Amino acid sequence: MSNILSGKVALVTGGSRGIGAAIVRRMARDGAAVALTYAASDQRAAALAAEIESEGGTVFAIHADSGDPVALKQAVAQTVERFGRLDILVNNAGILIRGTVDDYDLADFDRMIAVNVRAVLVAVQAAVRHMGEGGRIITIGSVTADRVGVSGASVYAMTKGAVAALIRGLARDLGPRGITVNTVQPGPTETEMAPGGTVRDQLRSLIALGRMGKDTEIAGLVAYLAGPESSFVTGAALTIDGGYLA
């Protein structure tokens, strides 16, 4: 443990698996008390909590679907009730429902907006009521905000572009209060959400480093933004993509 976040409290939405779980682990190992939300992965959330506690970390798992504004607000309230404060919010929860324009279902469109965009605003609105000088808000976006690369991801890309724009505005709103707001934009990363087969091979061929990213590498950038050395970074969309956009 580095203890760089000792005394801090973090909330990570969608924190039971993938990049979210890597962020939870990193925050805990850096000394923060960490709350995480999960929508369906009860067993994974429980296993992750047990793992962190076995290493001496402090963690609190909360069942909350980020697409439900009431549940998300309650998750923030439960975090503050449990730990007495909130210093770091990581909006990680996100979904990808693929489909081309010809027959994309509007119900899927609404669901993507609810989880990938609306939830960010809802969580920020609830969290900033408890944050003071030095607060950190970090949202996981995607390089698809700048380059889609493959077909079937237009709506997902739109949501990530919206998040990047939202973060810039929130940085202006919250800068006078000493709260930084940034987005991390991963490129193709080895997670369950990543496409497989020929699409994965195609993406890998477009990456300068010749491989996909690791969830721990994304968590490392998030940890930097959550820590004291990033105090002059706000309103930024930081790409971590192995040279995919190069």
Helix (H) or strand (E) holding 137: strand 136-140
Q: Return the closest-CA partner of residue 128 out of 164, 85, 160, 161.
A: 85
Q: Indicate the residue type of 155.
A: V
Residues tagged active-site: 156
DSSP state of 153: -
Radius of gyration over every alpha carbon of the chain, rounded to an integer in angstroms: 17
Burial 47-67 (b: 16+ CB within 10 A, else e): ebbeebeeeebbbbbbebbbb
CA 116-120-126 angle, 5° bins: 150
CA 7-168-127 angle, 5° bins: 35
CA 74-80-86 angle, 5° bins: 115
Tokens found for residue 21: 């779980």
Q: Please check whether residue 205 is in contact with residue 67, taking contact to mean a CB–CB distance below 8 angstroms.
A: no
